[in-house]
Structure 1
Amino acid sequence: MPTLSDLVSDRTDLTDADLEWLHALVSDWQLLADLSFADLLLWVPLRSPEPPQGEADGQGAASGWVAIAQMRPTTGPTAYPEDLVGKVVPKGRRGLIDVAWRERRIVREGDPEWGSGIPVREESIPVRRGAKLLGVIQRSTNLSSARTPSRLELTYLQSASDLAQMIADGRFPFAGQEPNLVRSPRVGDGLIRLDRAGRVTYASPNAQSAYRRLGFPADLVGESLGAVTTELCDTGEPMEEALTALLSGKAPREVEVEARGSVMQLRTIPLVVGATRIGAIVLCRDVTELRWRDRELMTKDATIREIHHRVKNNLQTVAALLRLQARRLQIPEGRMALDEAVRRVGSIAIVHETLSHTPDELIDFDDIADRVITMAGEVSTPETRVTPKRTGNFGVLPAEVATPLAMALTELLQNALEHGLANRFGTLEVLADRYEAEGGSQDGPGEGAEDGGRVKAKGEASRLEVVVADDGVGLPPDFDVESTDSLGLQIVRTLIVGELGGRLEFRRRPSGGTEVIVDVPLDQGRRRPGPPRP
């Protein structure tokens, strides 16, 4: 299904500013659909090949219409179960839309129409931005379950009528005042209608219940909503702005209030018809459980970060103890073994230090790789004079990949410095590449470039390839990583192949030296060895 932006750019003459206004309208028009108990369809005029002079500003007759957005009510039955976005109709096929566009007014004339065997009442609301008409909203009400409306429904319908007039006058949506909380209250969560003075003229049962949980047992009707809410939430602490002003209905605002352990979310929507502010509607929602869960998650996140911080400190303490012990040893082999243990513990501590500063278990591994590479360069012998460098990006990795990968990278760098580049000048480079394995993406290769069993990712990569390359003495003729007695290489093989389900390969470089290829899956829910690289 095409998006609103695609339809506007491909089919209409609307500008970027018009598109931004329509996006703001569509992001908030669930409110109108629920208050109206009706489906909403947004029609905009089709692009004219050569607009007549004086009609290019959208004020003249339209040659046809295209539906660019659709919304169904959550408070009543839908009139259009099928999707109509992208539908094109010629001029004259939707008479009420043509009239609303031509006469720049809300059109409610006509008897109910019968579509798909159900009676539907059609209304058309012109959409205006400033002095410019952008389109028409078709409001379709399913009348199959028509009955005598309750007071709640009458309040909904009156509020919907006022809101529709604001759209026709270009006063809704509010410029720069889009809903800014995670989830703004909906009509069904609770609705309060205010008069010009900010007093309650109607409160839905859900709204009344929400205020009872805050500690107000009486009926809200006739009360000043701002004064009542301020009294309930008075903690003795200074507030940024008085709730009385916030809930007066003079400006669109969103706020959360808390009292007696309950948290309520409030959204104020002024109602301005013509040039007169007639009152406001206030949507309210009890979010106590949501905020309790948010606080629990924040507490858990803080606890996890503190654990990582303490683990890092403990690992650094262990490394310091091993370093002290190494200085006391007179046996070179024992001192070397302890120095290697210090480096291994240090690489794990780097990961936990990074995790202690992140809100989740995802790590920007580029920083860790740079620190591991720097650490390897610092402990290299002065005779080698090798400065390792990194090419490419590791990107963000999950913690279960980052920890073993950091240890493996430390071992490979140290092995290259001690054996491949011992007592000679040379270069040591770490190359990182994230890619999408062929057949591993549900979205397919897209526009990526194929490379022998690999597809460069256009979206999220599924594998990571790391190459540690040097131009040193190269591998011994009889080298076999599976039978080597090197503890460091055995650790690397266990981590990459056994723990991460990846692939480890050692190759001689044609120009001299060695390159080690590490290829690991990033989807650790499906760990398995990667396909052999040609």
Structure 2
Amino acid sequence: MSTLAELLAEHTHLSGDAAGHLQRVVAEWQLLADLSFADVVMYVRAEPTDSLICVAQCRPNTAPTVSPADAVGNIVTADDDPQAVAAFGIGRILREEDPTWIGSTAVRREAVPVRFRDTDDAVADPAVIAVLVRSVNLTTPRLPSPLELAYQDCAHDLCQMVCDGTFPQHEGNPRGLSTPRAGDGFVRIDDDGVVTYASPNALSAFHRMGWTKELSGNRLGDVIAALLTDPFESGEAVQMIAEAITGQEGMRIEADASRATVLIRAVPLRPRGARAGAAVLIRDVTEVKRRDRALISKDATIREIHHRVKNNLQSVSALLRLQSRRTDNVEARRALDEAVRRVASIALVHELLSGSVDEEVDLDTVLDQLIPVLGDVSPGDARVRIVRRTGIGVLHADLAMPLVMVLTEIIQNSAEHGFRSGQDGTVTVSAERTTRTLTVIVRDDGVGLPPGFDPERSDRLGLQIVHTLVRMELGGTLTLHDADGGGAEAVLTVPLH
């Protein structure tokens, strides 16, 4: 089965930021499905047609599914699903008055536009980039319980926020904590922080923490502050609740009470921009923490390996630098200096991986640390300035390692050979990233390429390394040509999927 990123890359031309927003929606929509007691599917426009294609599907943990078949990859037109197509064009939530029958199952459907404001255009209204369709099973009529009413009320607020383009938020989660589910424990608080409803599982979690009174009617921040044993965790939890009810970005924390360890997440609710309190999810993770200790130990071992590799590479780099200083031959010294920079770039990636929990590397951080070193290779007394114009983003280590080596060679080559002795200039690094490809452009305003220069047949070691890595490791393409207005330009294109 194709992943969401692969389907978006194949059928749309969404920007990388828009695709990232849809991935955040899918990462959070299990909460929406559980609170709605509904199946949820996501449709995007299948370019260049006007039809829609299903790119993701979610079933609830709180109710039977209405769609046992896999819908991902299905293409629908206005004749097949007029509600979804209309919501895409109108840009507001459309609810069916009469149920739809799927076989013998009565289903009520709702189409929710997914809006996103591109960072490049902060003035325009958020654009509709997808549609969520919620389908609720109505076959077994019954009087809804207080839990169901509280769930559905919260689900309506979240759907409106999806339509507003304000959910999901960029939530603070620096420790990479997992997400509590609605069934783990659900608490609804009003805009004063007072509990209006607490699910039975939430009550059990608070009882495990040591709370023996009724929870409804109390300020949740005061309750948590009284239960947590660590004053710093207590203050952090109170701040999290206070910020959530004022509509600021949500957070999640893990805290220890006297008899339990709990994971708490606060989700601000601001439908149509109006404060409506917050939904607080709580999960008792006391037993889970015991089992996780072994995994944490393994993760720490992997990071320690990256740390030791980094230290060893830095030792190699220091030895090469020492040898360079003791060498009188100019060509040998230049070759050793280039080797030092290559080893240093690899060591820097391992340094970042030693602090990463997901084997991913922020390429912008790497370049910002490499650029001062690469700027020292300009010829003679020339002053070459290297500038990063746009961000590249985060990549998995499998791509990041060869990409850093390629960019090191290209930037170094441009700064060293792109200018005459004594000529000042600028090397700029910019990037364009979509769901399908990453394109990095390195351009200088120097003398340009030599007449008849063929990069494929060049005997320079750096270019040979670059072409080998681009073809074998990255599966991409590299072109070198004279830039408009003078200088040279290198365009590296790397497929992301």
Classify the TM-score, shorter chain. 0.5 to 0.7
Which among 126, 142, 147 is matched to residue 152 of structure 1? 147
Partner of 2:279: 281
Partner of 2:89: 102
Distance verdict in 2 for CA 1:228–1:15, change over 3 Å: same
Shift of 1:245: 1.8
Partner of 1:469: none
Distance verdict in 2 for CA 1:16–1:358, change over 3 Å: closer
Partner of 2:178: 183
1:61-116 superposed Cα distances (whole Å, 9 cap, x missing partner): xx111000000000001010010101011223211112222221111123111113
Following the alignment from structure 1 to structure 2, what is the Cα–Cα distance between the partners of residues 201 and 278? Answer: 12
Partner of 2:25: 25
Distance verdict in 2 for CA 1:30–1:243, change over 3 Å: same
Partner of 2:72: 85
Partner-residue secondary structure (3-state), 2:55: strand
Q: Output the amino acid matched with 2:269.
A: L
Following the alignment from structure 2 to structure 1, what is the Cα–Cα distance between the partners of residues 18 and 292? Answer: 37
Partner of 2:339: none
Q: Output the amino acid matched with 1:281.
A: A
Normalised by the size of structure 2, how large is the TM-score? 0.56
Normalised by the size of structure 1, how large is the TM-score? 0.53
Distance verdict in 2 for CA 1:180–1:127, change over 3 Å: farther
Following the alignment from structure 2 to structure 1, what is the Cα–Cα distance between the partners of residues 127 and 37? Answer: 28
Partner of 1:247: 241
Q: How many residues align?
A: 306
Partner of 1:260: 258
Partner-residue secondary structure (3-state), 1:42: strand
The share of aligned pairs that are identical, in percent, is 39
Distance verdict in 2 for CA 1:121–1:6, change over 3 Å: same
- Unaligned runs of 5+ residues in structure 1 are 50-62, 306-354, 372-534
Shift of 1:17: 1.6
Shift of 1:46: 1.6
2:225 touches 2:234 (CA, 8 Å); kept in 1? no
Partner-residue secondary structure (3-state), 1:32: helix
2:45 touches 2:53 (CA, 8 Å); kept in 1? yes
Following the alignment from structure 1 to structure 2, what is the Cα–Cα distance between the partners of residues 298 and 106? Answer: 43
1:192-239 superposed Cα distances (whole Å, 9 cap, x missing partner): 00000111000000001100111110111011111111111144x445
Distance verdict in 2 for CA 1:297–1:170, change over 3 Å: closer
Shift of 1:267: 0.4
Partner of 2:460: none
Following the alignment from structure 1 to structure 2, what is the Cα–Cα distance between the partners of residues 112 and 213? Answer: 42
Following the alignment from structure 1 to structure 2, what is the Cα–Cα distance between the partners of residues 299 and 106? Answer: 47
Following the alignment from structure 2 to structure 1, what is the Cα–Cα distance between the partners of residues 18 and 255? Answer: 35
Shift of 1:142: 1.5
Partner-residue secondary structure (3-state), 1:247: helix
Q: Output the amino acid matched with 1:272.
A: R
Shift of 1:294: 3.3
Which among 198, 209, 212 is matched to residue 193 of structure 2? 198
1:7-53 superposed Cα distances (whole Å, 9 cap, x missing partner): 2122123222211110111011100000000000101112126xxxx
1:180 touches 1:254 (CA, 8 Å); kept in 2? no
Q: Output the amino acid matched with 1:196.
A: D
Following the alignment from structure 1 to structure 2, what is the Cα–Cα distance between the partners of residues 296 and 173? Answer: 32
Following the alignment from structure 1 to structure 2, what is the Cα–Cα distance between the partners of residues 75 and 260? Answer: 31
Shift of 1:117: 2.2
Distance verdict in 2 for CA 1:101–1:358, change over 3 Å: closer
Q: How does 1:45-444 map to 2 (within 5 A)?
A: 45-48=45-48, 63-130=50-117, 131-175=126-170, 177=172, 181-235=176-230, 237-238=231-232, 241-248=235-242, 249=244, 250=246, 251-295=249-293
Following the alignment from structure 2 to structure 1, what is the Cα–Cα distance between the partners of residues 74 and 299? Answer: 48
Partner of 1:471: none
Does residue 43 of the first structure (1) align with residue 43 of the second (2)?
yes
Shift of 1:139: 0.5
Judging by fraction of residues, say which structure has more helix: 2
2:233 touches 2:255 (CA, 8 Å); kept in 1? no
Shift of 1:357: 6.2
Distance verdict in 2 for CA 1:82–1:357, change over 3 Å: closer
Distance verdict in 2 for CA 1:69–1:356, change over 3 Å: closer
Greater RCO between the two (CA within 8 Å, min separation 6)? Answer: 2
The structure that has the greater radius of gyration is 1
Following the alignment from structure 1 to structure 2, what is the Cα–Cα distance between the partners of residues 218 and 232? Answer: 12
2:52 touches 2:85 (CA, 8 Å); kept in 1? no
Distance verdict in 2 for CA 1:175–1:181, change over 3 Å: closer
Shift of 1:276: 1.2
1:294-342 superposed Cα distances (whole Å, 9 cap, x missing partner): 347768999xx9xxxxxxxxxxxxxxxxxxxxxxxxxxxxxxxxxxxxx
1:214 touches 1:232 (CA, 8 Å); kept in 2? yes
Distance verdict in 2 for CA 1:233–1:177, change over 3 Å: closer
* Alpha-carbon RMSD: 3.2
1:236-280 superposed Cα distances (whole Å, 9 cap, x missing partner): x44594422212323301011211231010000000011211100
Does residue 3 of the first structure (1) align with residue 6 of the second (2)?
no
Distance verdict in 2 for CA 1:98–1:229, change over 3 Å: same
1:452-490 superposed Cα distances (whole Å, 9 cap, x missing partner): xxxxxxxxxxxxxxxxxxxxxxxxxxxxxxxxxxxxxxx
1:199 touches 1:221 (CA, 8 Å); kept in 2? yes
Following the alignment from structure 1 to structure 2, what is the Cα–Cα distance between the partners of residues 102 and 263? Answer: 47
Distance verdict in 2 for CA 1:137–1:77, change over 3 Å: same
Shift of 1:144: 2.2
